[in-house]
Amino acid sequence: MDSPFLEPRIGIVRKVVRSRKLVLALAAVITFAIVQVISHLIISTNLLDGIRGSSPPPPPPPPSFKDTPLMPGPPPGTQGIWGQFFGQSASRKCHELPIPEDYWILSGEDTPAFVEIPHLSDISVGESVCVRVIVPPKPANLTAAFVPLPDMPWDSILLDMVGAATGISVPVKLSYVNDDRVERHDGVHIYQADVELRDADVYRPEGYIEFRDALWNPEGELVPQEYKPEELKISGLSQVMVTDKYRSSEYSLWRYLDLPLCTESDVDGRWVSVGMIPFDASVLPLPDNLGRVWMPYKCRLQRISYSDFAKCAIEKYPRMHWYGDSNLRRVMKKISTLGEWCSTEEDRNGNACRCEDYTVPFERFSIHARDTFLDLDPVTGGNTLAGETDYARVPENKTRFAIFKMEGLTERNMPPWDARFQNGLVKKFGEPDAVIVSLVNWDAAFNSYEYFANQVKLLIGYLEDTYPVTSKLIIRTGQYHCCYSDQTRTARKYSQLRNGYFNDMHIGMIKDALSDRYSVSVWDVASIAQRRPLVGRQESTQCYSNHVRSEVVEVENQVLFNALCN
Ligand SMILES: *[C@@H]1O[C@H](CO)[C@@H](O)[C@H](O)[C@H]1NC(C)=O
Ligand SMILES: *[C@@H]1O[C@H](CO)[C@@H](O)[C@H](O)[C@H]1NC(C)=O
C-alpha cells in the first residue's frame, strides 16, 4: 500500500558529499522542503477534517496516476539526505532495519531502557511502523528463582502507539529481535514489532516496563512481586503521521457502515470516541464508560438487543452449554435481565457494576449454584427452571442454557471440574448447538502453566467424548490483565504476559486437537480490553478480581451476539 508519489528512498548518506554536489543538493532539498511543508499542511487539514468534520467527505477519487499530485522527486544523488531530513519515504519493516552493533554493549547503569522508531517517516493508512525497545541490563539477581515461561521474554513491557487527536491506542506486540544474544538474562534485550496503523492521526509510543528479570512470572511456590513500573525513555521526535490522503482508506470511519457484518468473535479493532463517529452512533454497540465505541477494522458490529439475541438463539442455538467463572456470571446477569442489570448510570458507577458483584443478591438465578439452568425468551428474559424433571428438553419458543460454574481447571473446583463429564452429561442435559468454555482467569492466578496444560489435555478428551461434532465450540479468552500485581493474601499470580501465554497456549491446544472435526472459534475479550486507552485498563487496579466494568461486559456480549447471529 505504498503511496503513489512516495518513492522508496534507501539508506543514509555514509560518504562525505563533496562541496559542489552539496550546494546543488541543498538547493534542491530546500525547494523540496517548501513543497513538503505545504503538502503537509494540506494533509494535516484533511486529517482533522476526516476525523472531526460533520459533513460527509467527497467521494474518493479512484487511485490513478492522473490523480497523483505533481510532486518533484528528489534530484539524483540526494535520496539519502532527502529521506533522512524530510522523512517522506515508504514504510519499512523491522527486518529491513539493521540494529546498531553498539546497542549490544549498552549498560543499564549508564543508559536507561528506551523506545526507538528506527525509520521515522510518515506513512499511509494500513502501513506499518517498526518500533523497537532496547533494555540494557541492570545488575540482576541472577540467583533469583524467576524465569520466563517458554519462549517468553525476561521483561514485561506495556507499550502502545497512541493517536494524538483520536486517542486510539494500538498495542505494540513486541518480540525479541532475531539474534542469539538477546535471550541471555544478563544481556541487552532488544524487542521489536511492526505496528500496523489504520486510522489517520499522529501516533506516539507510550508505555513502560512492568517487570524485569521475569518477575512477572511467579510460577510454583513463588509469589507475586511488587509492581514498580520503570520508565521507558521516548524521544519527543518519535512520532509518526498516518495519512489517509483521499479519505479512501478501507478503514475510514466514513466507510464503516459499508463493511460486512462481523461473523467472528476474535477480530481486531479499535476504540473510537463517540464524538468522532461521522454517522448516527446508535447503530453501534453502546460506548464504554470513557465514551468510546469498539469498532472492528474489517467488519461491522450492529447493536443487537437482548430480545433479538434471545430470538436468534431460539432459532439457531436452542440449547447452549456454558462453562466459566464469575466473568460468565456477569455476562449472564446482562442476558437474563435482557440488559437491565447495570443499565442505570447510578448502578453503573456502583461497585457491583464496576467490579465486584459477588455479594449482591440476584433474583434471576443463584449466583452460588454450581449448575444453573435458564430458559431464555425475548419477553421475560432468563428464568430458572421450576419443577423441571427433563433437563434435556427445550420448551417451545425458548432457548435453554445450562451454565456450569468452574474455577478454571484448578483444583479449587468443588467437586472437581471433571466430575461433571463423567456422568453422561449430554444424555442428561441434551446435545447443545453451542458450547462456550471460559478458562484461564483462575488458572493463570493459581496454577503453573504445566499443570494447566495437563488439565487442558484432559478437558479436550472430555469435550471430544461428550459433544457431537455438530456442537459449535467457542473458547472465551481469559481477561486481559495489566497495571498491578496482587499483593493481597490471595496472591493471584496473574500478569499481562502470564494471562496472554495461558490464553494462547490453551487456544492453540484446543484448536490443534479439535478444529479438524469441530467448528472451534474464539471469543476474544482479552484483545478488546488490551486496546482500551491505558486509563481504561488501569481501572483494573481498583478491582482485584480483575472483572471488567459492566459497560465492557456489554461490549463483550455484543461481539459474541454478532458472531452468533449475523
Ligand atoms: C535474590 O533472589 C533471592 C531468591 O528469589 C531472594 O531471596 C533475594 O532477596 C534476592 N536478592 C536481591 C538483592 O534482590
Ligand atoms: C410459539 O410461537 C409461535 C409463533 O409466535 C406461536 O404461534 C406459538 O403459540 C408459541 N408457542 C408457545 C407454547 O408459546
Length of the chain, in residues = 566
| Ligand 2 binding pocket includes 396 (Cβ within 6 Å) | yes
**Buried/exposed code over 331-358 (b: 16+ C-beta within 10 A; e: otherwise):** bbbbbbbbbebbeeeeebeeebbbbebe
Q: Per-residue confidence of the chain (566 residues) as pLDDT tens digits?
A: 333 333 333 333 333 334 455 555 555 555 555 544 444 444 343 333 333 334 444 444 333 333 333 333 334 444 444 444 554 446 899 999 999 999 999 999 999 999 999 999 999 999 999 999 999 999 877 777 999 999 999 999 999 999 999 999 999 999 999 999 998 999 999 999 999 999 999 999 999 999 999 999 999 999 999 999 999 999 999 999 999 977 789 999 999 999 999 999 999 999 999 999 999 999 999 999 999 999 999 999 999 999 999 999 999 999 999 999 999 999 999 999 999 999 999 999 999 999 999 999 899 999 999 999 999 999 999 999 988 999 999 999 999 999 999 999 999 999 999 999 998 899 999 999 999 999 999 999 999 999 999 999 999 999 999 999 999 999 999 999 999 999 999 999 999 999 999 999 999 999 999 999 999 999 999 999 999 999 999 999 999 999 999 999 999 999 999 999 99
Residue 261 lies inside a defined structural domain of this protein:
no
The answer on 104 and 39 residing in a single domain is no
Which atom of ligand 2 is nearest to 397's Cα?
1
Please report, for the domain that includes residue 197, its CATH number: 2.60.40.10
The reply to whether 405 falls in a domain is: yes
Kindly state whether residues 156 and 41 are assigned to the same domain.
no
CA of 380 to the centre of ligand 2 (A): 14
Nearest protein Cα to ligand 2, atom 4: 397
Q: What crossing angle do the helices spanning 326-336 and 306-316 adopt, rounded to 10°?
A: 100
Domain-embedded: residue 475:
yes
Residue nearest to atom 7 of ligand 2 (CA): 397
Q: Are 377 and 485 found together in one domain?
A: yes
8 Å CB contact between 429 and 321: yes
Give 401 Cα–ligand 2 centroid separation in angstroms: 20
Q: Is residue 191 part of a domain?
A: yes
Using CA positions, which residue lies closest to atom 8 of ligand 1? Answer: 144
CA of 394, nearest ligand number: 2
Q: Examine the domain organization and report whether 422 and 536 are in the same domain.
A: yes
Between CA 302 and CA 403 the distance in angstroms is 26
Do 351 and 218 have their domain in common?
Answer: no
Residue 381's domain comprises: 305-565
Q: Is 371 left (phi over 0), alpha (psi -120 to 50) or beta?
A: beta
Distance CA 172, CA 130 (A): 10
Q: Collapsing DSSP states into helix, strand and coil, what is residue 74?
A: coil
Torsion sign over Cα 546, 401, 268, 201: negative
Q: 274-281 — which CB contacts under 8 Å span 24+ positions?
A: 276/51, 276/52, 276/166, 277/253, 278/53, 278/54, 278/56, 278/253, 278/254
In a domain, 254, yes or no: no
Burial 95-124 (b: 16+ CB within 10 A, else e): eeeebeeebeebebeeebbbbbbbbbbbbb
Phi and psi at residue 260, in whole multiples of 5°? -70, 155
Contact 132, 117 (CB under 8 A): yes
* Structural contact between residues 89 and 6, judged by C-beta atoms closer than 8 angstroms: yes
